[in-house]
Chain A
Amino acid sequence: MTKRIVVYGSYVAKKPVFQRYWKRRVDGIKQRYWKKTTRYKKVVVSSGRYEFYGKGRDLYGAIWLAHQIMPNGYVVVSAAEFLAHPEKYGTGGFWIDKEVESL
């Protein structure tokens, strides 16, 4: 397996706000559902990481982009793929200075 460049830390991410609603099913049971709203809330995530592999130029671009796009959990992706579709692997936010394990 190739060597990978890791970008990790704690961050504040923008997550969509979900709103609950109830609907009566055909069998008469009232069931709770969640719908995505257009609003966003800021959430502090204690640990997240990107693992990039690829060529130097792509790696530079991916790391530059990783400063603005926070990972959705632990992401292992090729730098070229991340540059092509960054929205698939993360959301907006910013990194914060907080103690984090190298997990």
Chain B
Amino acid sequence: MTKKLNPCSPIFGLSDDEAVMVDFDNVSFKTIKYWAFRTMKFHKLEGFIILRSSKGCYHVVFNRSVDWSENMRIVAWIALLSNNKGLQKYHLLQCIKESSTLRMSTKKQKPSPRIVYRYGKQNTQIRCFLQYRKLIKNIIKKIAKNLCDKA
């Protein structure tokens, strides 16, 4: 049985400015796949993974390393052309912080994001992203176990 953190634990995520990370809200899987392919081809991003964070909400991480200005240029390009309100808000929030953040843990009733689609090269940023994802999940598991032992 998998042990979960109590509902009042904080939210864990990964923050980075080199990887292009996008958060789509209220879209179908077909739409997200279309935008991921189109962005990858237009900006030569080598590959991508799609993670499903909750019903109708998806995260996309691209493979190629970029600098911060190019990163925001790409996210703004997708936000403008896809006309997705959630993504436009996400873009503004990331601009304020100067780094892109994606959630890794559960959040209220939402489960932690899981990989639903992979395409192209996965050897640069996606590899790092998945390593950190694994690290965070291990830490969360360990902490949950310690909390359960304490209780």
Contact = CB atoms under 8 A, between A and B. Distances in A.
B136 interface: yes
Given A3-B14, A56-B135, A96 B101 contact: no
Given A4-B99, A67-B143, A102 B10 contact: no
A102 B11 CA distance: 9
Contacts of A101: 93
A51 to B, nearest CB: 6
Interface residues of B, number: 31
B12 A5 contact: yes
Contact of B139 (A3, A11, A59, A103): A59
Interface string B1-20: 00000011111111111100
B90 interface: yes
A4 B146 contact: no
| Interface size class, chain A | 20 to 34
**Interface SS of chain A:** mixed
A89 interface: no
A27 interface: no
Contacts of B148: none
Interface in B119-151: 128-129, 132, 135-136, 139, 142-143, 146
Contacts of A3: 14-16, 18, 128-129, 132
Interface of B: 7-18, 23, 90, 93, 96-97, 99, 101-103, 108, 128-129, 132, 135-136, 139, 142-143, 146
Interface of A: 1, 3-9, 11, 51, 56, 59-60, 63-64, 66-67, 74, 94-97, 99-103
